Structure formats: C-alpha cells, structure tokens
Amino acid sequence: MIEGGCLCGGVRYEISGELLEMCFCHCQMCRRVHGAPFGSYGAIRPEQRRYTRGEELIAEYQSSKDAVRTFCSRCGSKLAFQNSQTPDEIWIPAGTFDGDPGIRPTYHIFVDSKAPWFEITDDLKQHSEEPE
Ligand SMILES: [Zn+2]
Ligand SMILES: [Zn+2]
C-alpha cells in the first residue's frame, strides 16, 4: 500500500499493490506544472487508486487534446496525469507519495525538451520524446 496526498493535506489517496514503473518527464508542460526542471511519476492502473479524503477539492485541467492533469484546488499540488489514448494507466506525481514507493525511476522522457539549465547526471535510459 502506497499512501500520499497534497501539500495542504486536504486530498489523500491510497494505492493498492505495486507501481508499474517510474520515470522522469522533461517536457515543457510537466516542467511548468511542477515548477521544476522535470516531473517524476509513478504509473498505476486506474483501479489501484482510491481517494480517502478531499475528493471535493480535486480539480482538473485539460492540458492538451488527450491529457488531463488533476490537482488540489486549495494548494495546487499535482495529483495525476491521464492520457485518454492510454486509459489503462494513470501517472501519479511521485513527490506526493508519503514514503518509499518501493521501486525506482528507470528512464527519462522528452529529453529533447529538457530545461537548458538542468543537466542529467544519472545513467538511466533517455528517450528524446515518448518511448514506443
Ligand atoms: Zn491540497
Ligand atoms: Zn511531460
């Protein structure tokens, strides 16, 4: 069981089972939405997540034709990224996990859009855009 939530504590969630994978995304939208050099995400199946508090605070922003980003309307914390082309997976911003999610990020995506002031110094696989 992985637990997590937003900055203000208004929204809390539980994830059953294990994360499918973790990765870092360097696309400009993830950089803007996180206010950071990249986004870090853990992937799950939709049925793995259950909100335990604050569903009334949850807001959504459609950031592109296929993508919806979920966040807490009180504190702004990001809570999910979903793409309608891949409805069987949800990407949870890893900074919202309480503790150790058990697995580790294994790759970077959208490295071609990387912030010019940030240097990737690990040995993880780098994809210029999305992996196939
Ligand atoms: Zn909040
Ligand atoms: Zn991204």
DSSP string, 9-45: SS-EEEE-S--SEEEEE--HHHHHHHTSS-EEEEEE-
- Say how many Å lie between the CA of residue 19 and the centre of ligand 1: 23
Residue 131: what pLDDT? 81
Whether residue 104 lies inside any domain: the answer is: yes
* 94: pLDDT strictly greater than 90: yes
- How far apart are the C-alpha atoms of 41 and 63, rounded to whole Å? 17
Whether residue 122 lies inside any domain: the answer is: no
Q: How many domains does the chain have?
A: 1
CATH number for the domain including 45?
2.170.150.70
Whether residue 101 lies inside any domain: the answer is: yes
pLDDT in tens, 111-132: 999 999 999 999 999 999 988 7
Q: What is the pTM of this model?
A: 0.95
For residue 41, the ligand closest to its alpha carbon is 2
Report which of 39, 30, 45 is spatially closest to residue 105, judged by C-alpha positions: 39
Whether residue 126 lies inside any domain: the answer is: no
3-class secondary structure, 107? strand
For residue 59, the ligand closest to its alpha carbon is 1
- Say how many Å lie between the CA of residue 30 and the centre of ligand 1: 19
Whether residue 64 lies inside any domain: the answer is: yes
Whether residue 84 lies inside any domain: the answer is: yes
- Say how many Å lie between the CA of residue 86 and the centre of ligand 2: 15
For residue 91, the ligand closest to its alpha carbon is 2
pLDDT in tens, 34-51: 999 999 999 999 999 999
Whether residue 38 lies inside any domain: the answer is: yes
Relative to beta strand 12-15, strand 67-72 is unpaired
Where helices occur in the chain by DSSP H, the ranges are: 28-34
For residue 113, the ligand closest to its alpha carbon is 2
Q: Which domain holds residue 47?
A: 2-115
Whether residue 98 lies inside any domain: the answer is: yes
